[in-house]
Chain A
Amino acid sequence: MNLVFLFYLSSGLFLGWASGANYMGNVFGTAVGTKMLSFTAAAIICSIFITLGAVYGGAGPASTIASLGSINTMAGAFVAVLAAAFAIFMITKTGLPVSSTQAIVGGIIGWNLFVGLPIDTYALFKILGAWIASPLLSAIFAMILMSVVKLFLHRFPLPLLYQDLYVRIALILTGAFGAYSLGANNIGNIVGVFTNVVPFNDIKIFGIISLSSTQQLFLLGGIAISIGVFTYSKKIINTIGRDIMELSPTAAWVVVMSHSLVMFLFASENLHNFLVKYGLPTIPLVPISSSEAVIGAVVGIALLQKGRGLKINSLGKVAIGWITCPFFAAIFSFIAMFFMQNLFGQPVH
């Protein structure tokens, strides 16, 4: 049973690996692009904190993905995820940042269309709404943060070398926070569809750390992402760190911070519960696109400088990647479901 499950899960691990490249680009692309952090240091921090976020904070957004399409067979989950992974793999090859969220939603919709089940429009609109809100929110955060930082540095100028040091430390800490939030927010995309069919038992490591079956699943996803971070992310780093706009190290930090805040807002169950407790409007726990959040922040900074230095061509290419990815994943998922059911005789529903 476990071997069969692991075989099916391999598509999730493939998706994790392909997404890892994007995650690294999004969280540390600006820091590595501005040469404030070395690739290796960034990759180590990114891997550790994404995995921690996935294991300890991934439950909330993953449940939204599960509710979008309750894929109830392993073969169906395998194909939906494989379609998403394939879409990401192809687009990442071109060096464009792409969203695992958009890809998996495309893959699940392909499954829904194939099996003829109605799509949970409430969940779909919740996700689509978050996709529009997140880059806008990120741009607003970036504009506010950049203005505050500039004002602060004008009022209280720091010595050149110490400013460099503080920005470097801030990039590491914020990047770690961003990676944790990203792991928590996006692990649902990677292996979320397997949560209904996961066959693991709860375990205790050294009698201290207990991991539920879902957490073990998320840990495997986190490890796959980490491998992608190390092996497949350099092209994306160039796109995020240099091609869209040349950023100063301070602006790089603002981008990482804005991205991290947005990922946190859409991933934190604690924040969600806090808002519910005091009757405040809540932010849906939805997996959002980390690429959108980063690009939103970069555009926010560019707008603050009246669009100076923004490379519209690169931005246009990124937007095309966002639009084609879910469509491509849905079409591939639909076709692959057909083959899985009719050629390999595996039930996908």
Chain B
Amino acid sequence: MLNAKIVLFQRTKELNAKITEFLNNISEAAIIFHQAIMNYMQAGDNDDFEAKLNNVSALEARNDQLRRTIETKLYEHTLIPESRADVLELMEGLDKIVNMFEARLYQFSIEKIDINENLKTLYEELSESSVNAVEALVRSTRAFFVNISQVNDHIHKVMFFEKQGDMIGTKLKRQIFDNPDIELSRKIQMRMLCDDIDSIANQAEDVADQLSIYTIKRYL
């Protein structure tokens, strides 16, 4: 019986460590993503930018692996049976965010988008608000696993940064299309990039909405 209990504790500890690593990787990917955007705005697609893209790719690959391991362990050992489906959905939603970070950086790397000097600050601000939304989401998720009473302390910040991102995005798109010197094809390309960066905050908001429901369910 004692041996079984030690195994149970060990298993829980390992799984907890994997979830923590998964969340740390999202947070790290968010920081690197923002640094890469700043770097691109200042110096374009250079080696430093590509190195950051590779870092985010590596984190994305590692998180895919972690997500699969966590999902398998949860089912294999029938852990948290009542919250299992919710946790799996949460992990999938969070994992998608890292995929989006990677996809956006590839977009810069492949398309070599030429951005007007006067628009660069707005792109940086947009990236910052998306990253802030993701950071707040990671903190809410940590609270969900560790101290559920604190989830709502962070979740409202996700909504705040998402809204801020929408406002910056609208402003940016207006400036793009109000400028007669930019040809239409570049306007559309920059608008798409703006929407794509903003969609990271939207995804964070969607996951936060799910998290709110899971939190209420756990309180019942």
> What is A's interface to B at a CB cutoff of 8 Å?
34-36, 38, 154, 157, 159-162, 164-165, 168-169, 172, 248-249
In the complex, given contacts A35-B81, A164-B12, A168-B8, what are 4 additional A-B residue pairs having Cβ atoms less than 8 angstroms apart? Answer: A34-B82, A159-B147, A161-B79, A165-B12
> What is B's interface to A at a CB cutoff of 8 Å?
1, 5, 8-9, 12, 15-16, 19, 78-83, 87, 144-149, 218, 220
B16 and A157 contacting across the interface, CB-CB below 8 Å: no
A159 and B81 contacting across the interface, CB-CB below 8 Å: no
Q: How far is the CB of B59 from chain A (nearest CB, A)?
A: 23
Report the bound CA distance from A164 to B15 in whole Å: 12
B16 and A38 contacting across the interface, CB-CB below 8 Å: no
Q: How far is the CB of A174 from chain B (nearest CB, A)?
A: 14
Q: A165-B12, A169-B8 are in contact. Are A159 and B146 (CB under 8 A)?
A: yes
- Which of A34, A35, A159, A168 is in CB contact (< 8 Å) with B16? A159
B145 and A165 contacting across the interface, CB-CB below 8 Å: no
Chain B residues lying within 8 Å of A169, measured Cβ to Cβ, are: 5, 8
Residue pairs across A and B with Cβ atoms less than 8 A apart, 8 shown, are A36-B78, A157-B147, A159-B146, A160-B144, A160-B148, A162-B12, A164-B80, A169-B5
Q: 10 closest pairs, A vs B, by CB? A: A35-B81, A164-B80, A165-B12, A159-B146, A160-B145, A161-B12, A157-B147, A35-B78, A157-B148, A161-B16
State the total of A-B contacts with C-beta under 8 angstroms: 46
B149 and A157 contacting across the interface, CB-CB below 8 Å: yes
A161 and B82 contacting across the interface, CB-CB below 8 Å: no
Q: How far is the CB of A277 from chain B (nearest CB, A)?
A: 33
A249 and B16 contacting across the interface, CB-CB below 8 Å: no
Chain A residues lying within 8 Å of B16, measured Cβ to Cβ, are: 159, 161-162
B81 and A34 contacting across the interface, CB-CB below 8 Å: yes
Report the bound CA distance from A168 to B79 in whole Å: 9
Chain B residues lying within 8 Å of A38, measured Cβ to Cβ, are: 78
Main SS of the interface on chain B?
helix
Report the bound CA distance from A256 to B144 in whole Å: 27
Chain A residues lying within 8 Å of B79, measured Cβ to Cβ, are: 161, 164
Chain A residues lying within 8 Å of B12, measured Cβ to Cβ, are: 161-162, 164-165
Chain A residues lying within 8 Å of B149, measured Cβ to Cβ, are: 154, 157
Q: How far is the CB of A229 from chain B (nearest CB, A)?
A: 19
A160 and B8 contacting across the interface, CB-CB below 8 Å: no
Chain A residues lying within 8 Å of B147, measured Cβ to Cβ, are: 157, 159
Q: How far is the CB of A276 from chain B (nearest CB, A)?
A: 34
Report the bound CA distance from A154 to B219 in whole Å: 9
B82 and A165 contacting across the interface, CB-CB below 8 Å: no
Closest B-chain residue to A153, C-beta based? Answer: B148
Chain A residues lying within 8 Å of B5, measured Cβ to Cβ, are: 169
Q: How far is the CB of A12 from chain B (nearest CB, A)?
A: 31
- Which of A34, A165, A248, A249 is in CB contact (< 8 Å) with B8? A165
Q: How far is the CB of A172 from chain B (nearest CB, A)?
A: 8
Q: A159-B16, A160-B80, A248-B82 are in contact. Are A165 and B9 (CB under 8 A)?
A: yes
Report the bound CA distance from A165 to B147 in whole Å: 16
Q: How far is the CB of B60 from chain A (nearest CB, A)?
A: 24
Q: How far is the CB of B138 from chain A (nearest CB, A)?
A: 16
Chain B residues lying within 8 Å of A157, measured Cβ to Cβ, are: 147-149
Chain A residues lying within 8 Å of B145, measured Cβ to Cβ, are: 159-161
Q: How far is the CB of B49 from chain A (nearest CB, A)?
A: 38
Q: How far is the CB of A157 from chain B (nearest CB, A)?
A: 5
- Which of A161, A162, A172, A249 is in CB contact (< 8 Å) with B81? A249
Report the bound CA distance from A38 to B218 in whole Å: 23
Q: How far is the CB of B3 from chain A (nearest CB, A)?
A: 13
A249 and B82 contacting across the interface, CB-CB below 8 Å: yes
- Which of A161, A168, A248 is in CB contact (< 8 Å) with B15? A161
Q: How far is the CB of A250 from chain B (nearest CB, A)?
A: 9
